[in-house]
Amino acid sequence: MVQALQYFFSGITVGSVYAIVAIGFNIIYSATGVLNFAQGEFVMLGGMVAITLASFLPVPVAVAVAVAIVTLFGCGLELVFFRRLRSHSILHMIIITIGLSIVIQELALHVWDEKVRSLPYFTGNEASSVKLLGAALSPQVIWVLGTAAIVVALLQLFYKRTLYGRAMRACSSNPEAAMLVGINTGNMRTAAFGLSAGLGALAGCVISPISMTHYEMGPGLAIKGFAAAVLGGLGNPMAAVVGGLMVGLIEAFSVSVIPSAFKDVAAFAILLAMLFLRPHGLFGRPSGVSVREV
């Protein structure tokens, strides 16, 4: 029982990170129709920048500055690589994101070398633990879960109750009509890249103490996050949360039946099964834009 609980918590911990990556996918996908395969790089950059800054700044400041820097970096990517490309096909843009993912990794390798780094624990240290329902957890797990929950709640408010949030939804629902009521759709796309990058960076910071930061961590996270987004249904950020948690849980529990070296297989199996059987996701409508059309 305690064993199962332990799996459960480790599942929802990695799951919340996948969820944030999946939300990042969705934010950009909704605003531009592009699947951004450099999403995992935002997570890696967030962690790396924060680690570098933490060497001379207090951790909370380092995290805040890292998130801000990566947010601007995300906006910059859109301005430089996508703004002038609107007439090109979605496929071109997706390939650009794959290229960017490779370039960012190489740059990270040069800047931060191949050492595995990590931020210090936000509270306590690697030895400390809290008891929750009988399972022993690192306090950082609470940070990860809390951050994910707050991000999801704030994002929901942002989308439903604010001028820019609604404008972003309008752009994804009907860009032409959005433009005609005076919304600068180009700027909304830039903002979507920034928001997505910032969230990714935040995730990169909170998981750094437990899962470490490495220049190559991006693509793996991107694939898991993508699996989560597809599982929930692309274009629906809140479904991505459920998708993320499910991928995390399946991965964690798979360890009890298959060797742990194979746990990545679980995520990829879900991804393939969903793409074949239900490309519109668990919560999506088949009438919406499905991954098949991309």
- Contact residues for other proteins, defined by CB under 8 A: 154, 157-158, 161-167, 169-170, 173-174, 176-185, 191, 195
- Give least dist CB 240 to other proteins, A: 16
- Give least dist CB 194 to other proteins, A: 9
Please identify, using beta-carbon distances, which residue of 10 and 190 lies nearer to other proteins.
190
Please identify, using beta-carbon distances, which residue of 26 and 105 lies nearer to other proteins.
26
Please identify, using beta-carbon distances, which residue of 118 and 156 lies nearer to other proteins.
156
- Give least dist CB 89 to other proteins, A: 20
- Do residues 226 and 26 lie in contact, with contact meaning Cβ atoms separated by under 8 Å? no
Largest CA distance in the chain: 58
Residue 54, amino acid? A
- Give least dist CB 235 to other proteins, A: 9
Please identify, using beta-carbon distances, which residue of 109 and 153 lies nearer to other proteins.
153
CA triple 253-45-76, angle to 5 deg: 125
- Give least dist CB 183 to other proteins, A: 5
Please identify, using beta-carbon distances, which residue of 110 and 161 lies nearer to other proteins.
161
- Give least dist CB 160 to other proteins, A: 8
Q: How many CB atoms lie within 10 A of CB 62?
A: 21
Extract the tokens encoding 51.
Answer: 């680690």
- Identify which of 7, 29, 74 has the alpha carbon closest to the alpha carbon of residue 230: 29
- Identify which of 152, 154, 156, 151 has the alpha carbon closest to the alpha carbon of residue 169: 156
Sign of CA dihedral 92, 98, 101, 106: negative
Please identify, using beta-carbon distances, which residue of 219 and 235 lies nearer to other proteins.
235
From CA 65, how far away is CA 122, in angstroms rounded?
A: 16
- Cβ density class 182-220: b for 16+ within 10 Å, e for less: ebebbbbbbbbbbbbbbbbbbbbbbbbbbbebbbebbbe
- Do residues 75 and 193 lie in contact, with contact meaning Cβ atoms separated by under 8 Å? yes
